[in-house]
Amino acid sequence: KKARVSCSLPEPSWEERLANAVTPLWRLPYQEQLQVKYESQRKILQTLASRLEELGIDAQKPGGLCCPLQPVVPSPIINGYRNKSTFSVNRGPDGNPKTVGLYVGTGRGRNIVCVKANHVENIPSKHKQVAQCYEEFICRSPLDSCILFHEGGHWRELVVRTTSCGHTMAIITFHPQQLGQEALATQKALLKEFFTCGPGAVCALTSLYFQESTMTRCSHEQSPYQLLHGAPHIFEELLGLKFRLSPDAFFQVNTAGAAVLYQAVGELCQATGDTVLLDICCGTGTIGLSLAHRVSKVIGVEVVKKAIEDAEWNAAFNGISNCEFHSGKAEAVLPQLLASWEDARPLVAVVNPSRAGLHYRVVRAIRNCRSIRRLLYISCKPEGEAMRNFLELCCPPDPRKKLAGKPFAPVLAIPFDMFPHTVHCELVLLFTR
């Protein structure tokens, strides 16, 4: 009998598995990555056209799209472009429960392994250096890592933020479990000493923050960020403006890509000197402030209170006086703002929500405000909850849902590659009515 020849490929290394999970397009030349993304965005617009047809709206354009799709705008920086990285603490491939890295596997599959991210192409070397130092610190610590909350342990994730000004902020999350204030103070002192006088000093941190958290995601309001060392903020420069960043303030993860995106948004707004710009989910005010010189007024709305404080500081520091910012959930703030809107000036809306999309009350307020004729929707996941918003913006009026305003129609789509090596794109969809 002939011996069987095995054709099975060797198992990929843990490094390859992580690269495939986090940056699935890393093996492709950049131009091929852009083509892959163009095709995925084209399918999204085809889906939207089909969904609109189901609502009785004739939305089919050439190629079965709901509107023309421009080529993907490339990122000015392809490697190490991220200005924010979140590292987890868990068991590594060697069983070390204090490995600082990124996950391979899923919680549902119960096969999670934490792999060091030293080779991942979209993470800058500074982030990797801080992660390596944090791992060294917690390996020296007698306290365990917190892998499952109910099983105890303390050391949790690390967030690193950097800016083109050379600033570095590290935010360390810690589960207090049953520790008293004196024991907590000891840990904070040890952490500060490590990153200021010990081996971690090589990171040259601008800011070191500590957050005690008993939940997976925790806001500043739920548990304040405690500054252990350095300045309370880091600073970024974008389109000739200076921006102040708090620990949890939103900022586009690709700064160079954001400059290209915001310039294009300014062109698409077609704003004139008497235009009022409504910046919904404004974060630290980057979009509104970068366009303030083109319009008569900017109104920003943002749920994160610290981000609004940053936005107001940013406006004052840059000498911009035609901006006002409102803190609170958009679904609570916007209907009040627009219900009594009687300003005769043209009103243009820009929305840049999280992956969860806009609350229905926000869409309804936009639809029912006749002054808004032009709307730019910026989405990092247009195939997700944003798709629901697109349909709500374009569907016929529905008295039962208190949707009285004239529907919008998609007229142009431009994808921006803010996330090289991944499958994700930032899609700007222009709606008019």
Using alpha carbons, select from 120, 89, 128 the residue that is nearest to residue 16: 120
- How far apart, in whole angstroms, are the C-alpha atoms of residue 239 and residue 250? 17
Helices and strands counted in the chain (H then E): 10, 16
Whether 361 contacts 377, CB under 8 Å: no
Q: Which residue has the higher pLDDT, 350 or 339?
A: 350
pLDDT at 1 over 60: no
- How far apart, in whole angstroms, are the C-alpha atoms of residue 405 and residue 360? 14
Q: Is 178 annotated as a binding residue?
A: no
211 — phi, psi (to 5°)?
-130, 125
The token pair that represents 235 in the structure block: 């600073």
* Confidence (pLDDT) at 214: 78
Catalytic residue among 133, 281, 369, 380: 380
Q: How many CB atoms lie within 10 A of CB 27?
A: 12
108 CB burial (10 A radius; 0-12, 13-18, 19+) = exposed
- The CA angle 7-12-14, to the nearest 5 degrees, is 160
Q: Is 302 annotated as a binding residue?
A: yes
Q: What is the pLDDT of residues 272-322, one digit of tens each?
A: 889 999 999 998 999 999 999 999 999 999 988 888 999 999 999 999 999
* Confidence (pLDDT) at 221: 67
Q: What is the pLDDT of residues 123-137, one digit of tens each?
A: 999 999 999 999 999
Domains for the chain: give ranges and CATH numbers.
Answer: 84-232 (2.40.50.1070), 254-432 (3.40.50.150)
380 is catalytic: yes
pLDDT at 5 over 60: no
Q: Is 39 annotated as a binding residue?
A: no
pTM, full prediction:
0.91
Q: What is the pLDDT of residues 81-113, one digit of tens each?
A: 999 999 999 999 999 999 999 999 876 667 889
Q: Which residue has the higher pLDDT, 192 or 217?
A: 192
Model confidence at 7, in pLDDT bands (50, 70, 90)?
A: low
What's the mean pLDDT in 247-266?
Answer: 94
* Confidence (pLDDT) at 339: 83
